[in-house]
A and B are shown apart, each in its own frame.
Chain A
């Protein structure tokens, strides 16, 4: 069965500092990988996705993520965090074959300090 681990429940970053959120997955083959962001009381917004090809993917709002097969990781990065980035971030894995059921990590809450 596929699974996703986000080891950090909370992370606090100073505004303007760089950010890296960790995500490790377990899956039998190369999966589809996603990062979503959720503001309080809202739905999930897709930040970026990896299906195949270039292992460094660019997303919206200046985010990027790198797929590392050898480490089963898909970490999310941003060079300079803005106060508006404070939210909860979810990593998800989807099956390459079969249906599009997503398995989510528990999420990482990002706090941005002034």
Chain B
């Protein structure tokens, strides 16, 4: 059974640009969550999608957005990139998102210069 796949693995962007990250969950999993990991703040929850609907959102500015498709694949978008957006972005999938364990992808390393 394939795990969670995140693409691309690495990205370098310039301040002011926008970026889209992709996540394919484990087959059959309908919940996808996104987390940002930085050395200073640690792992922080961005948002969670289930059946194409955002169910929960963390405390991040509106520049961070996401969506989920009918096949449960998810994308997150960051507009007007800032240097502080440099981080490892992790996607996690779970069966339903309620009371089930989450499995993480390898992450996308975003560097903003």
Contact = CB atoms under 8 A, between A and B. Distances in A.
Interface stretch (B13-21, B71-79, B102-110): B102-110
B104 A45 contact: yes
Q: Is the interface of B mostly helix, strand, loop or mixed?
A: strand
Interface string A11-43: 000000000000000000000101010000111
B1 interface: no
Interface residues of A, number: 24
Nearest to A44: B104
B42 A107 contact: yes
Given A106-B42, A107-B42, A101 B101 contact: no
B24 to A, nearest CB: 13
Interface size class of B (residues with CB under 8 A): 20 to 34
A43 B105 CA distance: 5
Contacts of A51: 99
Contact of A101 (B33, B96, B100, B104): B33
Given A43-B90, A104-B43, A99 B107 contact: no
Nearest to B100: A100
A102 interface: yes
A94 to B, nearest CB: 8
Contact of B107 (A42, A100, A104, A106): A42
20 contacts: A34-B102, A36-B104, A42-B106, A42-B107, A43-B6, A43-B105, A44-B92, A44-B104, A46-B102, A94-B99, A94-B102, A98-B98, A99-B48, A100-B31, A100-B33, A100-B96, A101-B48, A101-B56, A102-B33, A102-B35
Interface of B: 4, 6, 31, 33, 35, 42-43, 45, 48, 55-56, 58, 88, 90, 92, 94, 96-107, 109
Interface of A: 32, 34, 36, 41-46, 49, 51, 90, 94, 96, 98-107
